[in-house]
Amino acid sequence: MKILVIEDDQRVAELIQRGLEEQGFELSLAYDGLSGKKLALNNDYDLVITDVILPKLDGLDLCKEIRKTKPELPILMLTALGTTDDKVEGFDAGADDYLTKPFEMRELLVRIRALLKRSNGKMNSIGFILKYDDLEMNLKTLNVKRKDIAISLTPKEFKLLEYMLQNTERVLSRTEIAEKVWDMHFDTGTNFIDVYINYLRKKIDKDFDKKLIHTKSGMGFILKAE
């Protein structure tokens, strides 16, 4: 497995490199956003790990650039910024997961393996359509529409809706969503899952009479035609 690490702190980058190479991964390093972008777009990697605050091109803009041409490439963001707003901004830019510094190497490894496992499963599957009521998602083209009206979603909104479409008419707890969509343990001190549910509601339900996304008080959320 080939991993690209983009981190301007050389000490941190080399610590990550050493820890991952001991686990059998092949590493490439970049110390600024522009160099990282060039490597990411011109080479084949199984995963990109990037800091948010980088010289020449910050991690958020770098993530957006990668997503334009490699929408399936898993991206893990590393940052000292750990508020809900920071996480939402990272996910909106296209990150698949978000790890706050400082972190332990074993936690980084857990996140990496979860992303690679999910990515490999998706890459090996044949493109198909998820459909519920008048809502349709194409996993091959990444298009979403309702009543034939195209709906534009961020990468994280897409993954959240994908999971809900795979589990229709079943209440999904915040803990389950955090683990299955974000590959992380749910932090009760943050509300970013509620934030993304609200984002989806505005795009999926706001302009339609029939509402599909519902909150079950004290339990979680459900995709159901009511």
The parts of the chain modelled with pLDDT lower than 50 are 122-127
Look at strands 47-51 and 2-6 and give their pairing: parallel
d(CA 142, CA 130): 11
Taking the whole predicted model, whether its pTM rises above 0.75 is answered as no
Q: What pLDDT sits at residue 126?
A: 38
- The predicted structure's pLDDT at residue 125: 40
User: What's residue 187's pLDDT?
Assistant: 62
Query: pLDDT tens digits, residue range 35-46?
Result: 999 999 999 898
Is residue 58 a contact partner of residue 50, using CB atoms and an 8 Å limit? no
Domains and their CATH numbers in the chain: 2-123 (3.40.50.2300), 129-223 (1.10.10.10)
